[in-house]
Amino acid sequence: MFRYTLNRISRSIITLFVIITIVFLLLRLMPIEGYFAEAFDLLTDQQIEEQLRAMGLLDPVHVQLLNFYRDLFRGDLGRSIIIRRNVPITEIIAPKIPYSVYFGLVSIFLAVTIGVPLGLLMARFKGKFPDKFGLGYVAIVQSVPPPVYFLFLQIYVTSLLSLPMLFRADNPVSWIIPAICMSMGGIGTYAMWMRRFMLDEVNKDYVKLARAKGLKNTKVMMRHIIRNAFVPLSQQLPVHILMTIAGSIFVESLFGIPGMGGFLIQAIQRQDNTIVQALVLIYSTVGVMGLFLGDLLMGLFDPRIKLVKKEGAR
C-alpha cells in the first residue's frame, strides 16, 4: 500500500506540474490588455513597454516560469491588476474560500447520503417504482443542461416554497437551493453507479455460495455485495469533485454567492489575468487531489489493486 500511495503521489505531482505550466503558458498568449488597470488605448507604446518590463513580462518565457514557481513555492499567487489593484490575490480570495468549501462539502455529503441509498433501492426493487423513479431522475439530470434545471429551481421552487432567490450570508434558508443545485448531478451519478454495480455483484458466484450456506439476504447484502460495490464506486469521487467545481462556477454566479466560482467569472469578464491564473491553479490542484483520493480509496477498498510489477510478471 505504501508503494501504491507513493506512486500515486508522484503521478499527481507530475500531473499538477504539467497543468500549472500549461496554464501559465496559455495565459502568456492572451492579450496584454489584461495586465493594465488603466485605459489601454490611452497609453503610449513607451508606457506599455515600461509597465510590461516592470511586471517581468518582457523576460524570456523560461525566466518568467522560473520566477512564477519561485513565488508559488513562497505562497505568493501575485497581485490583482484590475479588480483590486496591487492587492495580494491571497488576501482577496481568503474570505471567499469558506463559501466554496462549505457548498462543496455539503453537495458531496448530499450526493452520497441520497445517491447511494437511492441506488440501493433501485437495485433492490429493479423494474418497480423506486427503480423507475431513480432512472427517471438520472435521465433528467444527465440529458437536461444543468443551467436549465438550476434556473427552474431558482425561479419556480423558491417561489413555491417561499425561499429567497439569491444567497444571503445572514439568512441560512437562502443556502438551501444552491446546495441542492450543486448536489443534483452527484446524486444521479452515485445512484446510477450503485445500481449498476449492485446488480453486477448480485449474480456473482460468491453471493450464490453465501446464500447456499444459509446467510440471510441482509447479511449477504451488507457484508459482501455493498462492500464490493463500493470499490468501483469510490473511483467516482474524483468525478463528483470535478463536477462540484464546474457546478460551483455557475451556481455561485447565479445565486450571487461570494465564493471563488463566481469570482472566477468576474475575473475573466474584467480580464484580470493574474486572478484568472491563480483561481485556475487552485481548481486544478483540487481536481488532481480528487483524482489522487479516488485512487487511494480504490486501493483501500480493494487490496488486490497494485501498481508495482511482481518479479516474473510480464
Q: Which 3 state secondary structure label does DSSP give 46? A: helix
Q: What are phi and psi of 20, to 5 degrees?
A: -60, -45
Q: What is the pLDDT of residue 10?
A: 86
Residue at 21: amino acid letter: T
Taking the domains of the chain in order of start, what are their residue ranges? 2-93, 97-258
Triad 284, 290, 296: Cα angle to 5°? 140
Q: What is the pLDDT of residue 242?
A: 64
At the top level of CATH, the class of 97-258 is: mainly alpha
What is the CB neighbour count within 10 angstroms for residue 190? 26
Q: Which 3 state secondary structure label does DSSP give 306? A: coil
Q: Is residue 102 packed enough to be buried (19+ CB in 10 Å), middle (13-18) or exposed (0-12)?
A: middle
Nearest-angstrom CA–CA distance, 125 and 127: 6
Q: What is the pLDDT of residue 285?
A: 82
Q: With contact defined as beta carbons under 8 Å apart, do 253 and 265 qualify? A: yes
Q: Is residue 136 packed enough to be buried (19+ CB in 10 Å), middle (13-18) or exposed (0-12)?
A: exposed
Q: Which 3 state secondary structure label does DSSP give 145? A: coil
Q: pLDDT tens, position by position, for the chain (314 residues)?
A: 677 778 878 888 888 888 888 888 887 777 777 677 666 666 777 877 887 787 777 888 888 889 888 888 888 888 888 888 888 988 998 898 888 888 888 888 898 899 989 998 898 888 899 999 999 999 999 888 888 888 899 889 888 888 888 888 888 899 999 999 888 888 988 898 888 888 877 777 777 777 777 777 777 776 667 767 676 666 666 666 666 665 677 888 889 888 888 888 888 888 788 888 888 888 888 878 877 777 777 767 666 665 545 544 44
Q: With contact defined as beta carbons under 8 Å apart, do 117 and 133 qualify? A: no
Nearest-angstrom CA–CA distance, 98 and 129: 40
Nearest-angstrom CA–CA distance, 32 and 34: 5
Q: With contact defined as beta carbons under 8 Å apart, do 89 and 278 qualify? A: yes
